[in-house]
Amino acid sequence: MTMSTEQADRIDGSRFRKWLRAPEPQGWFQSSAQQFHQGWLKFRLHPLGLAGLAIIVLLILVALAAPLLTAYDPIVQDMAGRLSPPSAEHWLGTDNFGRDVFARIVYGARTTLYIIILVSVIVAPMGLLIGTCSGYFGGIVDEVLMRITDIFLSFPGLVLALGFAAALGPGITNAIIAISLTAWPPIARLARAETLSLRKADFIAAVRLQGATPATIITRHILPMCIPSVIVRVTLNMAGIIITAAGLGFLGLGAQPPWPEWGAMAATGREFMLDSPWVIAAPGIAIALVSLAFNLVGDALRDVLDPRGSQ
């Protein structure tokens, strides 16, 4: 009468699936995997969100496999074949230096990915640290940190990033620093709000009674709790970050030539736009696609996490 576990597995799907659906998760890893699974089940009901996710995955794949996707070098010039229109040989034509536009788009995906990853890696910890400290300590620390956050928040991001990028000098690293300087405040605000709701929780009081220092409480207990919502927020803001980065690149403050960057490609194509529109068409579409992908994923994520807010 009793089913063997193997039979049960076969009925309920794989053992992994059973593990994901166990009513009582054993340990934090299983519980967060279950949470993630639940989120995914809701997320995959959003076709647009899935489309966005597919584009982001595509971006990563293209960036990783760039040399396999094109035989052309994105940097080597070929003045004889400059500004040739799209053809079987050059799918998206060539630019004013005779470089294959498709190759430059493909390698430009690396630049975009580089910016996305570095900005996230800088902004998330920075916002987390400032936000959690502000929320946990309260009082004068909160006052000062939030005032600084407000100052950064109250100015247009691109203009501020422009100023910093100009001051630091052109270059991809400096552009990333400049963007990060303007992108952390919303993260800090969010982390602060999360911390405020956690601060009074019993488990924090218990840890404190055990003699944990504020540093331990923040880094070991509060910070990890804020990470999921911060990741979501960074995803939501990424579309704006990509647009800002493209704007900086367009103004010549991003990656420096000859390295391919989509914004800069559109800028150099300007002069030849009237006769060779393909030089600017492709990078613009690439930027819009990636930014759109993050917008779509962000919308779906917001829906998954807060079904009430979306209509």
Partner 1 sequence: MANADLVSKRNSDTTFSEEEVAYVAPHPLAIILRRLAGRVVAIVTTLLGLLFLTFSMGRLLPADPVLAITGPEVSKEVYDRVYNELGLGQPILVQFLSYVGRVATGDLGTSATTGQPILTDLLAIFPATIELAVIAMIVGALVGVPLGITAAVRRGTVIDHVARIVALAGHSIPIFWTGLMALFVFYAKLQLVGASGRVDVFYEGLVTPITGFLLIDSAVEGQWDVFQSALGHIILPGAILGYYSVAYISRMSRSFMLEQLSQEYIVTARAKGLGRRKVVWRHAFRNIRVQLLTIMALTFGGLLEGAVLIETVFGWPGLGQYLTRGLQMNDMNVVMGAVLTIGAVFLTINILSDVLYRILDPRTR
Enumerate binding residues for partner 1 (CB under 8 A). 139-140, 143, 147-148, 150-151, 154-160, 162-164, 166-169, 239-240, 243, 246-247, 250-253, 263, 266-267, 270, 273-274, 277, 280-281, 283-284, 287-289, 291-292, 295-296, 311
Kindly state the smallest distance separating residue 87's Cβ from partner 1, in Å: 21
Length of the chain: 311
For residue 249, give both structure tokens.
């690149």
For residue 46, give both structure tokens.
């959003």
DSSP symbols for 201-265: -HHHHHHHHTT--HHHIIIIIIHHHHHHHHHHHHHHHHHHHHHHHHHHHHTT-SSPTTS--HHHH
Nearer residue to partner 1 within complex by CB, 166 or 225:
166
Q: In terms of C-beta density within 10 A (0-12 exposed, 13-18 middle, 19 or more buried), how is residue 2 classed?
A: exposed
Kindly state the smallest distance separating residue 249's Cβ from partner 1, in Å: 9
Kindly state the smallest distance separating residue 143's Cβ from partner 1, in Å: 8
Nearer residue to partner 1 within complex by CB, 11 or 167:
167
Kindly state the smallest distance separating residue 243's Cβ from partner 1, in Å: 5
Kindly state the smallest distance separating residue 187's Cβ from partner 1, in Å: 19
Helix (H, G, I), strand (E, B) or coil at 200: coil
How far apart (Å, rounded) are the C-alpha atoms in residues 228 and 36? 10
